[in-house]
Amino acid sequence: MIIDVHAHLGWDHVFDEDFTWEEQLEKHQTFSVDKTILQPASCHDIETVREQHDRIARAARDYPGQFYGMANPNPHLKDAVYEEEVRRCVEELGFVGIKIHTFAHAVHPGGRDGTKVFKLAQKLNVPVMVHTGAGIPFANPTNLIAPALAFPDVNIVMAHCGMMIMAGETAIAMKAAPNLYADITWTAGFNLRHWAHEFGAHRFLFGTDHADNAGTELAKVKTCGLTEEEQEWILHQSAQSVYRLK
C-alpha cells in the first residue's frame, strides 16, 4: 500500500502553480498510490480557500477511501473565521488534519497565530502538518520544539524534513519531542536512511507535494538502503497511525 500524505489541489496564489485534479488521478494510476491526503494550495482569503476545501471534499466523496482532506486556511485570518472554517472541514467534511504553511502565510508556529492552530487541533483531535525548510526563519524545524512540548497530545508532521537546508535542525527537533513526525518530500535519501535507523521509520511518512514528484519520491524510498519493514512504515503504516486512516 502507498499513502501520499502531502498533495495539493487548486491554484496556488503565492507560488503561481496549478495543482490539477487530472494530475492526482494520473498519479494514483501510474504509481499505484492507494490513498492521498489533499490540501489546498496557498490562498490568502477565506472565500478562495473555502472553494478549494469544497473541491477536495467533493474528491473525497467521489472516491471514498482514496482521497482525504487537510484544512489549510491562512492562520492570520480573524480567529473566529479561521476556527469556523477548520471546524467545518473536520466536523462536516471529514478532513483528517490541519496545515500551517510557515513560508506561504508568513506564520511562526510558536507565535500567536501559530499557537491557535495547535489549540484547535487539540480540541478536534487531528494532526498538524507544518512546512519546514525553505522560508527561514519561520520554517526552521526547531521552531516546532516548543509547540510539540506544549501540546504533547497533538501529532505534528514536519513537511519536507526541513529540506536539505534545515536537515540538521530536523534531527534536533525529533530528538526533543516524540510527537514530531516528518514527511519525506524534498529530502535526501541518505538522510532518510540515517534518520529511520536513529528515530524509527514509524516517524516518517511518504508524500509527493506535487504529482510530478511521485516517481522520484517512490524511487528514493525503494533505493536509499531501507529495510522492507522500514519501507512499509514510510509508505503507509506511519500515515495510517498518525492520520488514523483505514
State the pLDDT at residue 79: 98
State the pLDDT at residue 246: 79
225: helix, strand or coil: coil
- Looking at the DSSP bridge assignments, the partners of residue 158 are 130, 182
- Looking at the DSSP bridge assignments, the partners of residue 129 are 99, 157
Q: How many helices (H) and strands (E) does the chain have?
A: 10, 9
Mean pLDDT by 10 residues, the chain (246 residues): 98 96 97 98 97 99 98 98 99 99 98 99 99 97 99 99 97 99 98 98 98 97 98 99 95
**Which residue type sits at 166?**
M
Q: How many CB atoms lie within 10 A of CB 137?
A: 9
Q: 3-242, which class in CATH?
A: alpha beta
Give the DSSP letter string of the chain: --EEEEEEEEEETTTTEEE-HHHHHHHHHHHT--EEEEEE---SSHHHHHHHHHHHHHHHHHSTTTEEE-B---TTS-HHHHHHHHHIIIIIS----EEE-TTTTT--TTSHHHHHHHHHHHHHT--EEEE-SSSTTTT-GGGGHHHHHH-TTS-EEEEGGGTTTTHHHHHHHHHH-TTEEEE-TT--HHHHHHHHHHH-GGGEE---BSGGGHHHHHHHHHHSS--HHHHHIIIIIHHHHHTT--
What is the C-alpha R_g of the chain? 16
Q: What is the largest CA-CA distance in the chain?
A: 47
State the pLDDT at residue 131: 99
Cis peptide before 137 (omega within 30 of 0): yes
Domain-by-domain residue ranges, the chain?
3-242
